[in-house]
């Protein structure tokens, strides 16, 4: 066993799964993973009593992926979750661990999204189905055989499912599954209602119980900021304007993100560098030494690359991407606030990640306060303060060393000392905006109010009528003359941003930029304004276009 693979190699997981686990930065299995993975891999039914935040998603995802047959294009594992938010979170985790398993597909099935694409994905052979009970029952009403090939069932947060009134739906789902399936049940508590389900539907289950220890990080001031995923870089740049830091480490999830963010920071004049698993050890050591001695002020790192990093200068930690679990969060922010020193940790949270924020607060036993982006006045005050601090030490003897030169320059240029001082300030600040009006113009397009539009953490409604949380409540924007509004089922939940849609339409449609009007990205769909003239021909041209790996399928949008 190599040091890198740590305790996960002992499970004898599929090498492709093990490689994906290493890439996420996990070093040692948590208590729930240590106990559950061998039981599930062996095919036993199991009852796991564990709180959210103990690493239980990996505890069932890794052994189930190990037992999946990628060659079989049919549903093989069903994971039931109480809310759309958790279903999406679990589906994302499965996709992460299955990244290096060709042919394995995951589909999330939940209310508030069109049923057609979900059922199609299941029929097309998605091996992993992550679903909320209400929406899955809707699908069973359309096709009662849709689960007939499932041989692994996981009930995640079973107690929450019962609290939300899904008992009847669960019974319908149990009946639709093969009786020979493996069943795994996770629940924070085991009331009589859960025990009754276990007695009826589990076969000689093995029990695993994990006591959660509260982790504390009291020496570190913690705060979070709600942003949309495509606004993170702009938010980071805004925060850096007002945060009084010495050295700072930023955590992101991917190697590419370390390079992209470090490049954006360098472009703004910050002394920044990327640190990821592809960087050679000698280069890694140079980066850390540069951070220690002040040649670098910011390092953008993945969890894996930051192992063992201990730099006393670090005053701030930015969690640009949400960590996979609360333990990772505690490890990350522990890079600051050491040996009694003050430290500050900021966490960027997208609407879909608010549930994980609640888990972090519960596990650490601390509230992570919400902050807002600095306004133009705060940015102006911070810039002037930095300028004042940089000039103050120079003023004491400046007149004696440069006074004569000042007199000569004012004569040679033919200007007042005030005009010359202003010109030198402009040069010294590299023409940086130092008025409210100028700062307002350069402000990044990040709303200063928290993004509240995503209601996916609410319990789903059952039945065929659309979920109210997915309806668009904003007033329709009037169309410009000569334009038609078109709709695609791809939205923010698919990781789509306006720039993705724009790029795809420009590349595939052969249009000029000015021909495309307003693009509105909502949670489960997007609207694009296109030229009315030749629209049908353009839609045919875009028929096979894919965005973020999914078909665009634009069609004319008719408002009632």
Q: What is the distance between the alpha carbons of residues 474 and 81, in angstroms, rounded to a whole number?
A: 30
DSSP assignment, residue 352?
G
Q: What is the CATH number of domain 220-370?
A: 3.40.50.300
Q: Is residue 517 pLDDT above 90, yes or no?
A: no
Sheet (strand 483-488) strand order: 519-521, 526-531, 483-488, 555-556
Question: pLDDT tier at 190 (50, 70, 90 boundaries)?
Answer: confident
> Is-contact 111 467, C-beta < 8 A?
yes
Provide long-range contacts, Cβ within 8 A and 24+ apart, for 412-419: none
pLDDT tens digit sequence for 114-158? 888 888 888 888 999 999 999 999 899 888 888 999 999 999 989
> Is-contact 113 493, C-beta < 8 A?
yes
Q: Which residues pair with 195 in a beta bridge?
A: none
pTM beyond 0.85: the answer is: no
CATH superfamily of the domain spanning 6-209: P-loop containing nucleotide triphosphate hydrolases (3.40.50.300)
Mean pLDDT score across all residues of the chain: 83
pLDDT for the residue numbered 406: 87
Question: pLDDT tier at 84 (50, 70, 90 boundaries)?
Answer: confident
Q: What is the distance between the alpha carbons of residues 168 and 448, in angstroms, rounded to a whole number?
A: 43
Q: What is the distance between the alpha carbons of residues 174 and 163, in angstroms, rounded to a whole number?
A: 18
pLDDT for the residue numbered 308: 67
- Which residue bears the tokens 């960590």? 323
pLDDT for the residue numbered 217: 66
Q: What is the distance between the alpha carbons of residues 283 and 276, in angstroms, rounded to a whole number?
A: 11
Q: Is residue 466 pLDDT above 60, yes or no?
A: no
pLDDT tens digit sequence for 266-321? 988 899 999 987 888 788 888 988 998 999 999 999 887 787 677 888 999 999 99
Element spanning 93, H or E: helix 84-97
Cβ neighbors of 106 (< 8 A, separation 6 or more) are 91, 94, 95, 98, 126, 127, 128, 130
Dihedral in degrees, nearest 10, Cα atoms 530, 531, 535, 538? -70
Higher pLDDT, 264 or 511: 264
The CATH 3.30.70.330 portion of the chain extends over 472-556
CATH superfamily of the domain spanning 472-556: RRM (RNA recognition motif) domain (3.30.70.330)
Q: What are the DSSP calls for 14-32, one per residue?
A: -HHHHHHHHHHT--S--HH
């Amino acid at each position: 066993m190599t040091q890198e693979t740590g305790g996960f190699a002992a499970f004898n997981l599929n090498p492709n799964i093990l490689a994906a686990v290493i890439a996420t930065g996990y070093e040692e299995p948590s208590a729930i993973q240590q106990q559950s993975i061998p039981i599930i891999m062996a095919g036993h039914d199991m009852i796991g009593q564990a709180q959210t935040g103990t690493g239980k998603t990996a505890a069932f995802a890794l052994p189930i992926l190990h037992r999946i047959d990628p060659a079989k294009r049919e549903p093989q594992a069903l994971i039931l979750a109480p809310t759309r938010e958790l279903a999406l979170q679990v589906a994302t985790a499965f996709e992460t661990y299955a990244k290096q398993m060709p042919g394995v597909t995951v589909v999330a099935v939940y209310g508030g999204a069109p049923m057609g694409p979900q059922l199609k994905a299941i029929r097309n052979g998605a091996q992993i189905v992550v679903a909320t009970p209400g929406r899955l029952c809707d699908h069973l009403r359309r096709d009662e055989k849709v689960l007939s090939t499932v041989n692994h069932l996981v009930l995640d947060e079973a107690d929450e499912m019962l609290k939300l009134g899904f008992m009847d739906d669960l019974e319908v789902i149990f009946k639709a599954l093969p009786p020979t399936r493996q069943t795994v049940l996770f629940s924070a508590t085991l009331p009589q209602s859960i025990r009754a389900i276990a007695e009826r539907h589990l076969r000689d289950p093995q029990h695993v119980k994990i006591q959660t220890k509260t982790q504390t990080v009291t020496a570190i001031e913690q705060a979070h900021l709600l942003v949309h995923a495509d606004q993170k870089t702009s938010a980071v740049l805004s925060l850096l304007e007002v945060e009084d830091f010495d050295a700072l480490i930023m955590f992101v999830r991917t190697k590419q993100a370390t390079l992209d963010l470090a490049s954006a920071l360098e472009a703004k004049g910050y002394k920044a560098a990327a640190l990821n698993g592809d960087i050679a050890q000698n280069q890694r050591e140079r980066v850390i030494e540069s951070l220690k001695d002040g040649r670098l002020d910011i390092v953008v790192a993945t969890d894996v690359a930051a192992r063992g990093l201990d730099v006393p200068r670090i005053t701030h930690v930015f969690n640009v991407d949400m960590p996979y679990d609360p333990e990772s969060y505690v490890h990350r922010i522990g890079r600051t606030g050491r040996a009694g020193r003050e430290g500050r940790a900021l966490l960027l949270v997208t609407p879909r990640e608010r549930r994980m924020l609640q888990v972090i607060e519960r596990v650490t036993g601390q509230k992570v306060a919400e902050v807002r982006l600095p306004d133009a006045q705060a940015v102006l005050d911070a810039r002037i303060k930095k300028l004042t601090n940089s000039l103050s030490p120079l003023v004491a003897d400046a007149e004696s060393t440069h006074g004569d030169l000042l007199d000569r320059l004012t004569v040679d240029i033919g200007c007042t000392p005030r005009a010359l001082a202003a010109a030198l300030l402009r040069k010294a600040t590299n023409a940086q905006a130092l008025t409210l009006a100028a700062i307002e113009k350069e402000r990044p397009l990040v709303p200063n109010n928290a993004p509240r539009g995503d209601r996916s953490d609410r319990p789903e409604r059952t039945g065929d009528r659309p979920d109210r949380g997915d309806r668009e409540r904003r007033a329709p924007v009037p169309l410009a003359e000569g334009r038609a509004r078109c709709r695609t089922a791809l939205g923010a939940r698919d990781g789509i941003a306006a720039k993705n849609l724009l790029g795809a339409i420009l590349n595939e449609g052969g249009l000029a930029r000015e021909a495309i009007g307003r693009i509105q990205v909502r949670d489960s769909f997007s609207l694009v304004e296109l030229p009315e003239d030749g629209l049908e021909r353009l839609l045919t041209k875009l028929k096979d276009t894919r965005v973020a790996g999914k078909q665009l399928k634009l069609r004319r949008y008719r408002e009632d």
